[in-house]
Amino acid sequence: MSLSTIPKSLVALLSILVALASWRFIVLGVEVSMTFMLYHAEQRPLFFFAHVGFAPLALLLMPFQFWAGLRMRRPRLHRWTGRVYGLAILISGIGGAFMALNTDAGPVAGLGFGLLAVAWLGTTARGIWLARARRIPEHRVWILRSAALTFAAVTLRLYIPISQMIGWPFEISYAVIAWACWVPNLLLVEVWLQRQAKL
C-alpha cells in the first residue's frame, strides 16, 4: 500500500471535518462534548485548552500546506499558513505532552500519547528549520512526517468507534489506540518515502 492509494481529497475532507468537530466544546462545553477528558479540563485547564484548542487548527491547515496550486500561486500565503501550523503544533504539542504525563488512562496510553507529542513537535520543528534554511526537498519530507502525526487526530477518532463495535474494554482499547493512531501513519509515510527515493 502506498500513499498514492489514499485519495488526497479524502484525507483533506476527513482532516477538515474532524478539526471542525473537535471545536464542539466551544458550543457544547467540555462536560457534554468531552466527558472522558473532563478531569484534564478541571485539573490542568491551561494545557488541556492549549491542546484541544490548537490541535484542530493544525489539522485544519495541514491539507492546505500540500495544495500545490496554492503553494505555487501564493507562496507568501503558504509560508504564513505554515507558520501558523507550526505555532499551533507548538502550543498543542506542549499541552498534549503534559496531559500524557498526567493521564488516568494508564502508563501505556500515557507513553504512547507522550511520544506522539514529542515526535509531532520534533518533526514539525525540523521541517520549519529546513524551510527557513531553503532546503526545500528535505523540508517537504519532514513536513510530510509532521502531517502523518497531525492526522493521528483523525485515525484516533476512527479507531475508537471501531474498538467499541468490536467490544473491547475501553481501558484496553484506548491503550492500543494511543499507539495505533500514529505509529502506522508514520510507518506508511516512511515506506512511501523509501519508495520515492528509489524512483
pLDDT (tens digit per residue) in 78-87 = 999 999 999 9
Q: How confident is the model at residue 6 (pLDDT cuts 50, 70, 90)?
A: low
Q: What is the pLDDT of residues 18-49, one digit of tens each?
A: 999 999 999 999 998 988 889 999 999 999 99
Measure the CA–CA gap between 181 and 186, rounded to whole angstroms: 10
DSSP tally for the chain: helices H, then strands E: 12, 0
| Per-residue buried b or exposed e for 17-48, using 16+ beta carbons within 10 Å of the residue's own CB | ebbeebeebeeeebeebbeebeebbeebeebb
Residues 85-97, mean pLDDT to the nearest whole number: 98
92 Cβ contact partners less than 8 Å away, ≥ 6 residues apart: 50, 51, 53, 54, 55, 57, 58
Residues written for the chain: 199
pTM exceeds 0.85: yes
Q: What is the mean pLDDT of residues 97-106?
A: 94
| Interaxial angle between packed helices 170-180 and 152-166, expressed in degrees from 0 to 180 and rounded to the nearest 10 | 150
Give the separation between CA 73 and CA 59, rounded to whole angstroms.
22
* pLDDT on residue 4: 45
User: Alpha carbon 192 to chain centroid distance?
Assistant: 19
